[in-house]
Chains A and B, each alone.
Chain A
């Protein structure tokens, strides 16, 4: 059997009677960028929460690096090397931008000096150096999204889960973030990428998984997905979200 970096196996998540995710399976190989798309409420964020230990799964398994991780705590998942960003950004408001990223860096070092170096490096990559001493809570949304990305990258994840990292951004901001993601990928990162912007997804992903009402509707290359009649009918044609 092929060794996947991440395997989602028949995962379901119910909230009482509400089935948010139903029997979803897919795998992610090393150095792939996999897009996870679907209309609002399709269960994408819920799936991330199940993968990272924030929600217990109702049934199914999440396997990361041959280890079953769906019983682990979020911090354990992060330290194993799978880290996520938040659709609704969660800056540590009263800490500075630099300190926010240092908190991420502390998962790979115990030394403050070293954490600061790692953090400065990420800020530089993100173009946030000028904001290093600003309080994170005071940033506009575009920069908060970048901060979110810088902070999670400072944990040096093997697998990066991005939840609508371009959501609410204008065209140029989206382009800068996509450029950053492309450069991360060139260094061999593996990414699962939730995104509404279909153009962004098709331009950057190797494979796409489509969720609809909690179920997996389709999976394939960007080309296959954009030409899949089911996807077009149920999703691309019907909604405005892509």
Chain B
């Protein structure tokens, strides 16, 4: 009961937020990034956190959604974006099925390695094909759906919020279902799991497909939102890593961990990118703007967010192995 109340308040706050902020594209943009990273990390968590199969190549599924949608819309401008999204899911599922068919027969850490390999193959293919725009990427001039003003960011805020809610809903349902228990059993001990009647490759593929499909929907949404994509924006290994780090820092294999991770990391990355952190240090008088350190920070901090992610992750693994949410969990 308490949980439902809390959840309702949270949902209401999330829905009301853009109204409170008003037309502030900068802040809304950051919020959209938070929701998107939370949803991406939650989708990854179904496979990585629950089934214990760490994918280092989720950018491939994100990119599949984004590219499919934008390629279709540049060629058929009147197509309903939702149909593009569905085709994106099919594209991502094909990549997932091929990956799964090859590697899930094998034991051990092959999946992690193979997921990187597959994602790189996808990225390099996209980079070298013509219909994908190659290195130039794809620009979408205009998009419309149900007469919504898609130049405003608010529809995308709500779309991301919806996908996040769906992803969390699926995860919450999974946790109490046979499939969810089976995925966790696979994570804990594959021999024990299969001796108890669990078809390992079937359930791994099932969670991979689910995770890939959700990730692809987010890719499609992102493509519609940003309207310009290239491989470094949607197919980069860096994106795959950020998705994982968000889950690790928030709490792998927990329902809310990815959300907590995204709430923390995305604003932090934004602060670093726009040099807010450097400015704050200068303002607080901790660092002089003209000192060597001040100049160094100003020049380099903007590029440092991946490094900072890395440092936080190492600290997390050392001191908070169950992520931030692990701090608040009752120990059994």
Which residues does A use to contact B, with CB under 8 Å? 52, 54, 73-76, 78-79, 83-84, 86, 90-96, 99, 102-104, 106-107, 110-112, 115, 133-135, 138, 151-152, 155
Known: A96-B332, A138-B332. A106 touches B182 (CB 8 A): yes
- B197 with A75: CB separation less than 8 A: yes
Known: A112-B178, A115-B178, A135-B332. A104 touches B188 (CB 8 A): no
CA–CA, A91 to B184, complex, Å?
12
Identify which of B176, B196, B198, B200 contacts A152 (C-beta below 8 A): B196
Chain B 188-206 near chain A by CB (<8 Å), digits 1 or 0: 1101111111111000000
CA–CA, A151 to B196, complex, Å?
8
Report A-chain residues with C-beta under 8 Å of the C-beta of B200: 75
Interface footprint category on B: 20 to 34
CA–CA, A112 to B172, complex, Å?
14
- A90 with B197: CB separation less than 8 A: no
Chain B, Cβ-Cβ closest to A133: B332
- B188 with A95: CB separation less than 8 A: yes
- A90 with B191: CB separation less than 8 A: yes
- B332 with A52: CB separation less than 8 A: no
Identify which of A78, A95, A112, A138 contacts B184 (C-beta below 8 A): A95
Decide yes or no whether B266 CB sits under 8 A from chain A: no
Known: A95-B188, A112-B178, A115-B178. A103 touches B195 (CB 8 A): no
CA–CA, A110 to B181, complex, Å?
11
Report A-chain residues with C-beta under 8 Å of the C-beta of B38: none
Identify which of A73, A83, A94, A155 contacts B188 (C-beta below 8 A): A94
Report B-chain residues with C-beta under 8 Å of the C-beta of A94: 184, 188
Decide yes or no whether B177 CB sits under 8 A from chain A: yes
B180 CB → nearest A CB, Å: 9
- Contact residues of B: prevailing secondary structure: helix
Q: Can you list 17 contacts pairing A with B, beta carbon distance less than 8 Å?
A: A54-B191, A73-B199, A74-B195, A75-B194, A86-B191, A90-B191, A90-B195, A91-B189, A91-B192, A93-B188, A94-B184, A94-B188, A104-B196, A107-B197, A133-B332, A155-B196, A155-B197
- A103 with B199: CB separation less than 8 A: no
CA–CA, A73 to B193, complex, Å?
12
Closest 6 pairs between A and B when the two form their complex, measured CB to CB:
A107-B197, A90-B192, A92-B188, A78-B197, A74-B194, A135-B332
Decide yes or no whether B185 CB sits under 8 A from chain A: yes
- B193 with A103: CB separation less than 8 A: yes
- A92 with B184: CB separation less than 8 A: yes
Report B-chain residues with C-beta under 8 Å of the C-beta of A111: 178
Contacts A73-B199, A83-B195, A106-B181 known; list 19 others, CB within 8 Å. A73-B194, A74-B195, A75-B196, A76-B199, A79-B197, A83-B196, A86-B191, A92-B185, A92-B189, A95-B181, A95-B184, A95-B188, A96-B332, A103-B193, A106-B197, A112-B176, A112-B178, A152-B196, A155-B197
- A90 with B189: CB separation less than 8 A: yes
CA–CA, A134 to B182, complex, Å?
19
Report A-chain residues with C-beta under 8 Å of the C-beta of B178: 106, 110-112, 115
- A95 with B177: CB separation less than 8 A: no
Chain B 142-186 near chain A by CB (<8 Å), digits 1 or 0: 000000000000000000000000000000000011100110110
Report A-chain residues with C-beta under 8 Å of the C-beta of B194: 73-75, 78
- B181 with A99: CB separation less than 8 A: yes
Identify which of A83, A134, A152 contacts B332 (C-beta below 8 A): A134
Interface residues of B in 197-235 (CB under 8 A from A): 197-200
Report A-chain residues with C-beta under 8 Å of the C-beta of B177: 112
Report A-chain residues with C-beta under 8 Å of the C-beta of B182: 103, 106
- B191 with A103: CB separation less than 8 A: no
Report A-chain residues with C-beta under 8 Å of the C-beta of B188: 91-95
Chain B 85-110 near chain A by CB (<8 Å), digits 1 or 0: 00000000000000000000000000
Report B-chain residues with C-beta under 8 Å of the C-beta of A103: 181-182, 185, 193, 196, 198
CA–CA, A95 to B177, complex, Å?
14
CA–CA, A79 to B199, complex, Å?
10
CA–CA, A26 to B176, complex, Å?
43
